Chains A and B, each alone.
Chain A
Amino acid sequence: NAGVTQTPKFQVLKTGQSMTLQCAQDMNHEYMSWYRQDPGMGLRLIHYSVGAGITDQGEVPNGYNVSRSTTEDFPLRLLSAAPSQTSVYFCASIPILALNTGELFFGEGSRLTVL
């Protein structure tokens, strides 16, 4: 099993450009989520999904879109990148029935810089 795979690992964008961060998991996890991590801010939830066709907003959703067309994939789209979106992005997943164990499986992260 590859676990949770994020691509790209590094990306530099110019302000106003758009891009998609990819997240794929091969564990058949229903629940997937995106967090961003900034120095001193911990992990903040952007969007999450409890299954194909279902998404919901987290704490900091503005400037980001998501969709969940399959169980495996949960892409995060930046429509018009801003310097404030410079961050490290983590995708995480877990089976829905295991959500009450508090154990998320994280990808290795995608480091995004917006100039």
Chain B
Amino acid sequence: GQSLEQPSEVTAVEGAIVQINCTYQTSGFYGLSWYQQHDGGAPTFLSYNALDGLEETGRFSSFLSRSDSYGYLLLQELQMKDSASYFCAVRDGGGNTPLVFGKGTRLSVIA
């Protein structure tokens, strides 16, 4: 089985930087993904890390440390539209193993 832990809520100020952490426990590991979901909307893919290190995509970056079973999503230059829920997800096996999601972190960006 697998389990993922992430904070339930985070609040940050517009223009600031926020980090959302995710720790996981899996029997195997085949990558850590991040998704964004606005209220009433569908989850949308943000990033994927299979190897240790930082992946940058515009204002968003994602980091992975496989030895620590830990990753984070970093959002820079926060905007009000970044207020949403963010989910980390893992696969603990190869082949057709499905994606399992954490419970999500609700980010509130305030002025």
Residues of chain A touching chain B, judged by Cβ–Cβ distance below 8 Å, are 31, 33, 35, 40-45, 48, 50, 58-59, 90, 92, 96, 99-109
* Measured CA separation A59–B91 after assembly (Å): 13
Q: Does the CB pair B100–A45 fall under 8 Å? A: yes
**Chain B residue at minimal CB-CB distance from A45:** B98
* Measured CA separation A43–B102 after assembly (Å): 7
Q: Does the CB pair A58–B98 fall under 8 Å? A: yes
Q: Which residues of A contact B94 (CB under 8 A)?
A: 100
Task: Name 23 A/B residue pairs within 8 A (Cβ), A-sorted.
Answer: A33-B98, A40-B103, A42-B101, A42-B102, A42-B103, A42-B104, A43-B87, A43-B89, A44-B101, A45-B99, A58-B98, A92-B43, A100-B30, A100-B50, A100-B91, A101-B48, A102-B31, A102-B33, A102-B89, A103-B48, A104-B43, A104-B45, A108-B41
Q: Does the CB pair A106–B42 fall under 8 Å? A: yes
Across the interface, A108 reaches (CB within 8 A) one of B8, B42, B102, namely: B42
Q: Does B67 contact A (CB under 8 A)?
A: no
Q: Which residues of A contact B100 (CB under 8 A)?
A: 45, 59
Q: Does the CB pair B42–A41 fall under 8 Å? A: no
Q: Does B57 contact A (CB under 8 A)?
A: no
Q: Which residues of B contact A44 (CB under 8 A)?
A: 101
Q: Does the CB pair A96–B96 fall under 8 Å? A: yes
Q: Does the CB pair B42–A90 fall under 8 Å? A: yes
CB of B42 to closest CB in A, whole Å: 4
Q: Does the CB pair A99–B89 fall under 8 Å? A: no
CB of A90 to closest CB in B, whole Å: 6
Give the residue among B32, B41, B104 with the most A Cβ atoms within 10 A: B104
* Measured CA separation A99–B97 after assembly (Å): 8
Q: Which residues of B contact A103 (CB under 8 A)?
A: 33, 45, 48
* Measured CA separation A100–B92 after assembly (Å): 11
Q: Does the CB pair B30–A31 fall under 8 Å? A: no
